[in-house]
């Protein structure tokens, strides 16, 4: 993950990400961009009521029997029209990833995570890598390596963008700093691996973003508030030489070249 010329982040921010496994950006999207994306999410919510689609996953905690309450939309970059397609190729975002991963970037996948008011379910403590990013056979090869399996060996990073304020009450992401350097574990994580004293809340306002490595321990609590927490996630990677990266067969554009050297 050597950095050549910084385009968007400061040297301090890059160091923090590589040391801690995450980085919060208080502002990234403009108010107008957030409003436009929210509007399209509203349209998609209405559309799926009459058009069931395998990319739209129901919220398991919802008691609403008269409405399809969405937990997750896979391939969000392909479902929302031009404004959503523009996000995954946004130079501001690609510059950030170039600063973190180097000049050769590939796309991994996208999704929209929805935590509806009072019903958004928790996501248990986990690392992203064993959640479909590598095969079970590859996981079995990597786990015995322990801390010899370094984050640089799995250059896959997520950015979660916020269309609503993300707080403890509505299920913001919680991370364990530095956990991306502890190796690969079973999915979900054994709770004994998470020291509550180490946990940090990634509370951010709408328009902000959170970056985290695919080995970083993270969790999000249920939404106990009357407010939405809608947050698209885009994953990018550098060319992988130490692992064989995969993704869900339904994810489109996996491996697409976003930037290349020169």
Sign of CA dihedral 152, 95, 90, 164: positive
Q: Is 130 helix (H, G, I), strand (E, B) or coil?
A: helix
Residue 260 lies in a domain: no
104 within domain boundaries: yes
Rounded to an integer, what distance in angstroms lies between the CA atom of residue 250 and that of residue 134? Answer: 15
Q: Is residue 261 part of a domain?
A: no
Dihedral pair phi/psi, residue 74, rounded to 5°: -75, 155
Does residue 111 form part of some domain?
A: yes
Asked whether the beta carbons of 209 and 80 are under 8 A apart, the reply is no
Q: Is residue 211 a contact partner of residue 157, using CB atoms and an 8 Å limit?
A: yes
**3-class state of residue 34 by DSSP:** helix
Nearest of 27, 22, 61, 70 to residue 218 by alpha carbon? 22
Residue 225 lies in a domain: yes
pLDDT of residue 35: 97
Q: Give the CATH number of the domain where residue 193 resides.
A: 2.60.120.620
Residue 186 and residue 140: Cα distance in Å, rounded? 10
Q: Judge whether 3 lies within some domain.
A: no
Neighbours of 180 (CB within 10 A): 27
- Tell me, yes or no, whether 258 lies in a domain: no
In degrees rounded to 5, what are phi and psi of residue 192?
-65, -20
Q: Which residue has the tokens 């321990």?
A: 217
Helical segments of the chain, H only: 11-20, 31-50, 82-88, 91-101, 136-142
DSSP 250: T
User: What tokens were used for 81?
Assistant: 């029209």
Number of domains in the chain: 1
d(CA 64, CA 58): 11
- Asked, for residue 126, whether it belongs to a domain, the answer is yes
Q: pLDDT, tens digit, for every residue of 23-59?
A: 999 999 999 999 999 999 999 999 999 999 999 999 9
What confidence score (pLDDT) does residue 261 get? 86
pLDDT given for residue 3 in this prediction: 45
| Domain span at 30 | 19-249
pLDDT values of the chain reduced to their tens digit, one per residue, 262 residues: 444 689 999 999 999 999 999 999 999 999 999 999 999 999 999 999 999 999 999 999 999 999 999 999 999 999 988 898 899 999 999 999 999 999 999 999 999 999 999 999 999 999 999 999 999 999 999 999 999 999 999 999 999 999 999 999 999 999 999 999 999 999 999 999 999 999 999 999 999 999 999 999 999 999 999 999 999 999 999 999 999 999 999 999 999 999 998 6
Residue 139: CB atoms within 10 Å: 17
pLDDT of residue 168: 97
The two counts, helices (H) then strands (E), for the chain are 5, 12
- State the pTM of this model: 0.96
146: left (phi over 0), alpha (psi -120 to 50) or beta: left
């Amino acid at each position: 993950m050597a950095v050549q010329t910084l385009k968007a982040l400061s040297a301090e921010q890059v160091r923090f990400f590589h040391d801690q496994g995450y980085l919060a950006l208080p502002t990234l999207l403009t108010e107008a961009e957030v409003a436009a994306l929210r509007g399209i999410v509203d349209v998609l919510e209405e559309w799926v009521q009459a058009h069931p689609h395998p990319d739209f996953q129901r919220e398991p905690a919802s008691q609403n029997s008269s409405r399809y309450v969405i937990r997750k939309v896979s391939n969000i970059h392909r479902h929302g029209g031009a404004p959503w397609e523009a996000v995954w190729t946004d130079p501001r975002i690609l510059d950030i990833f170039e600063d973190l991963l180097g000049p050769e970037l590939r796309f991994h996948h996208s999704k929209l995570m929805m935590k509806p008011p009072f019903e958004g379910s928790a996501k248990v403590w986990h690392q992203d890598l064993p959640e479909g990013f590598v095969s079970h056979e590859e996981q079995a090869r990597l786990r015995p390596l322990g801390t010899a399996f370094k984050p640089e060996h799995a250059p896959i990073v997520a950015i979660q963008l916020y269309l609503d304020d993300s707080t403890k009450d509505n299920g913001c992401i919680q991370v364990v700093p530095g956990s991306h350097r502890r190796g690969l574990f079973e999915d979900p994580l054994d709770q004994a691996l998470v020291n509550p004293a180490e946990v940090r809340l990634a509370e951010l306002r709408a328009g902000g973003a959170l970056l985290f490595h695919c080995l970083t321990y993270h969790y999000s609590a249920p939404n106990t508030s009357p407010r939405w927490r809608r947050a698209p996630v885009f994953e990018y990677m550098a060319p992988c030489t130490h692992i064989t990266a995969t993704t869900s067969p339904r994810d489109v554009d996996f491996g697409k070249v976003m930037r290349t050297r020169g």
